[in-house]
Chain A
Amino acid sequence: MTKRLLIVDDSSIMRRTIEKNLETYDLEIIGQAANGMEALELVEKEKPDVVTLDITMPEMDGIECLEGIMKIHPTAKVMIITALSDKLTGLQALDKGARGFMYKPVSAEDLARSFDKLLKRNGE
């Protein structure tokens, strides 16, 4: 079944790179957001199955946004994609409900490997 995906990153190049690299998956991109506030509005409205979420963003960062997503739509599978490569940030995100964590720079192969796992884990 087609999963509905929301892409959240303050870089439009990064959002388009993620979109391009996931185009072979059975995913419908329901929206893109450049910060946590925009993301929460889209999560509320669209209830996506999967969210890719950056952390360092203006207005509202990804960790605060993740907490909001988990309150609004706790079954969303959130994949964090961030440049912040310290262990503490990763553990913090997983503790708050993220299902996966990737450190930028993220290649097409990295993304495929993580999405294979994420979607397989959810019976896709």
Chain B
Amino acid sequence: MESRKEEFEATCSLFINSVNNYFKHLTEIDSDVKVPYLKETEGLILKDFTGMIAISGSRKGFVYISADHDMFADLIGLFIGFNDPSEEDILDMAGEISNVVAGNVRANLGANFLISVPIVFKGMPDELDIPDDVSVYVIPIKWNGHEAFVVLGLE
């Protein structure tokens, strides 16, 4: 049992490193990771816009990154100089971050850690197929004054 817990925490650490690397490498502004916690109550923690990746293969579950419009807009401004991105651009940015954060952990977990293309949504979607037999770990982060959540659910 202890080894499963340690494995889960080690996987969470990989995601934390992946998030930190994304912001540091592309924006040269460090992200500040707050104390992560296991989520034990029902319901999702969501900000305005979310990019979600389904995980299959050697591990099963999901990871999503959720933040407000302004954080994604700031990133788009930094990358391509757009100051007034469309909602479609914001959703695209949410999907791309979640794709990179999930894809990067394959450096450690290998090619059998399979990830889907991003699922993106605004607010709370009407339907979302979240498995109920997963442990959910919430990683609150702050980047450039914006609050976001990285939420990892693994069997």
Contacts and interface: CB of A to CB of B under 8 A. Distances in A.
Interface string A11-55: 111101100100000000000000000000000000000000000
A13 B93 contact: yes
Interface of A: 10-14, 16-17, 20, 56-58, 82-86, 88-89, 103-105, 107
8 contacts: A11-B96, A11-B99, A13-B76, A17-B79, A56-B117, A84-B111, A86-B109, A105-B22
B4 interface: no
Contact of A88 (B88, B92, B110): B110
B89 interface: yes
B11 interface: no
A85 B79 contact: no
Given A56-B117, A58-B117, A107-B25, A85 B103 contact: yes
A12 B92 contact: yes
Contacts of A83: 99-104
Given A20-B80, A57-B117, A105-B21, A89 B100 contact: no
Contacts of A14: 96
B111 A89 contact: yes
Nearest to B99: A83
Contacts of A58: 117
A82 B117 CA distance: 12
Interface string B69-103: 00000001001110000001100110110011111
Given A89-B111, A105-B22, A13 B96 contact: yes
A94 B92 CA distance: 28
B16 to A, nearest CB: 15
A104 B103 contact: yes
B146 interface: no
Contact of A86 (B25, B100, B106): B106
A11 B95 contact: yes
